[in-house]
A and B are shown apart, each in its own frame.
Chain A
Amino acid sequence: MTEVMQISAMEQGLQGCPICTSVGSAEKTHCNRCGSKLHAGWANSIQHTWAWLATSVVLYLPANFLPITYTRFLGKETESTILGGVVTLWEHGSEPIAVIIFVASVLVPLSKMLVLAWLCLSVQFGSNFLLPQKTRLYRITEFVGRWSMIDVFVVSILVALIQLGNVMTILPGVAALAFAAMVVTTMLAALAFDPRLLWVSADKGDRV
């Protein structure tokens, strides 16, 4: 494959439908084949991504610093944050599980936000630095983001099962909701981001 043949659809006045893969004119706002809304307003992709990103950053704080569960054990109540839960798992000898939860709940959301912010900035500055790597990074981000929901499901199962009145009961904290909302908003941020813009702005940068 030579470089010469690699021309973006956008430069040829074309666009592909993300839902049904049909190819049509770049000016169309809706797809001929499936009726889906297309990326006609491309200028908005970056702004939408920033908006969802900002929302998820705001949600990230309560999700991590407020209690995600309350444990009532023999009349005493203790609260636990996401990080607290990781530490408890580690202390009880479940190191691999502690690592999984730490990666899924703390590392993945944080790196996802940083990556998306970096990608938005690259588009805005028309950078063509590490393009294939950035594209792959976006794909990984899009794929991995959903897995952060693990902790929300862990909490819901713990709450559902451990209901033994005063002996032992686990209740969900507001952080669980904030966390779920944070995962949803980072997913929406990734969906709003149009990875083609990375290549389009770089193509332009090459020629200027």
Chain B
Amino acid sequence: MVAESSMVCHECDLLVEVPRLEIRQKAYCPRCNYLLAANRPYAKRVVFAFATSGLLFLVLANAFPFLGFSAKGQERTVTLLQSVGILVTENLPLLAAVVFASIIAIPAMFLISIIYVSFSLANERSYPGTRKTLRWAVLLLPWSMAEIFLIGILVSFTKIVTIADVALGASFWSYVLFTICITVVVLHLDKRELWEHVELLRHD
């Protein structure tokens, strides 16, 4: 059979022996240079702490005014959900669904899944569906687009500032913090290590 430490490169299908990694060491594929595994310091604690705070910031991002807009004596303030909801009232519910999923629902599900798996690992027992949850977290990741949404907001400001004033609400800043948190989580997630730990959990 294959050695436990073997890995197949996701990019070029090369079978690679990955040695035990020291802290701050990374393993790259010898054929195509793809990052195979990384051992980042305090990875598990960082993942749990930032996933929890990220989720909290996402909740806060939905609780206060998100953006404000004023022009020609008229003012308008929207929450994050209202800014998605307007697409429904403008007859593009499918577009609203895509936006809602990519900037709120999927990132939230990703963070909740990661927190659940982290709990399993911290208590050293396999809670129901731990593997399924981790699988979903990995599958959902490319569809989480918080960082792209933030850049989109900045670009739209450059279009608006010529005609009106824009105000950034408390929820906007929460969303920025949430985006930073989810990015830190993704950077510290090592699929190989995480799955190895999950596999070792007791079932009861």
* Number of residues from B at the complex interface, CB < 8 A: 64
Other-chain residue from A14, A19, A176 in contact with B92 (beta carbon distance below 8 A): A176
Residue of A nearest to B162 (CB): A92
| Residues of chain B contacted by A156 (CB below 8 angstroms) | 83-84, 86-87, 95, 99, 152
Please tell me if the beta carbons of A161 and B166 are within 8 angstroms of each other in the complex.
Answer: yes
The CA-CA distance from A154 to B98 in the complex, in Å, is: 14
8 Å CB contact of A7 from B2, B15, B102, B160 = B15
Query: Which of A19, A146, A147, A163 is the one whose CB lies under 8 Å from B76?
Result: A163
Cβ-defined contact, B8 with A149, below 8 A: no
Task: Determine if A153 and B103 form an interchain contact, defined as CB atoms under 8 angstroms apart.
Answer: yes
Number of interface residues of A (CB under 8 A): 67
Interface residues of A in 99-134 (CB under 8 A from B): 100-101, 132
Judge if A23 is at the interface, Cβ distance under 8 Å. Answer: yes
Per-position 1/0 for A9-22, Cβ under 8 A of B: 11010111011111
Contacts of B148 in A (CB 8 A): 146-147, 149-150, 153
Binds A, one of B29-37, B45-53, B54-62, B181-189: B29-37
Give complex CA distance A161, B166 in Å.
Answer: 9
In the complex, the chain B residue whose C-beta lies closest to that of A184 is B98
Q: Check if B155 sits within 8 Å of A150, measured CB to CB.
A: yes
Let me know if A146 and B15 touch, CB within 8 A: no
Q: Which residues of A contact B151 (CB under 8 A)?
A: 147, 150, 153
Q: Which residues of A contact B162 (CB under 8 A)?
A: 92
A164 touches B72 (CB 8 A): yes
Residues of A that sit less than 8 Å from B by CB: 1, 6-10, 12, 14-16, 18-24, 33-36, 89, 92, 94, 97, 100-101, 132, 135-136, 138-139, 142, 146-147, 149-154, 156-164, 167-168, 171-172, 174, 176-177, 180-181, 184, 187, 191, 195-196, 198-200
Given contacts A139-B11, A159-B90, 16 further A-B contacts (CB under 8 A): A6-B30, A9-B14, A14-B8, A20-B191, A33-B195, A97-B155, A146-B148, A157-B156, A160-B84, A161-B67, A161-B69, A161-B78, A161-B160, A172-B92, A180-B98, A196-B13
